[in-house]
Structures are given as C-alpha cells and as structure tokens.
Amino acid sequence: MGLDIRLPMGGLFIALGLLLALYGVFGDSNIYQRSLGINVNLGWGLVLLTFGLTMAALARLGKRKASEDTARPAPPPLSGGRH
C-alpha cells in the first residue's frame, strides 16, 4: 500500500502545535491583553499537538492492523456451489 496520509499530517500538526505552544509559554505575556488575558497561543498549540499525536497514533495503528491482516492465511474456498 502507499504512504498513509495520517502520518505526514500528524507530523505537520505536531510541529505546528509544539511551535505555537512553546511560543505561548515563553512569549511575551503582554500580547494577551487584547484577548482578556487568555493565552490563546498555548491553548491552540495544545489542541494542534493533540490532533497531531492522534493522527500519528492512528497511522501507526493502521500500519499494525494492515500487517496483521497480511500475515493471516487466506480462508479455504467454499465447497458447495453450483456443479
């Protein structure tokens, strides 16, 4: 099969989520005055990071399930059809 789209998508969201969350933690806190003191960068960074980790986990789970399906032997053909 080909590359699972969830893997690069998960990597992209993990990277963006980490960058945004780190900026929210270590950035200037004065910029949050306009948003009523809510650290929007940290919140959305964590959301993006969670989504990216979920996509990466689903890609890994799908890869494992696909390898288990190919390892099983094919069932024998049914013998009871038309003659």
Report the pLDDT value the prediction gives residue 67, as an integer from 0 to 100: 73
**The whole model's pTM is what?**
0.74
Closest alpha carbon to 63 in 8, 24, 6: 6
pLDDT < 50: residue spans in the chain: none
Q: What is the pLDDT of residue 49?
A: 97
Q: What is the pLDDT of residue 74?
A: 65
| pLDDT for the residue numbered 72 | 67
| pLDDT in the model for residue 20 | 96
Tell me, what's the pLDDT at 65? 76
Residues 57-68 pLDDT 10s: 999 898 777 776
Spatial separation of the C-alpha atoms in residues 24 and 43, rounded to whole Å: 8
- Read off the amino acid at residue 60: R
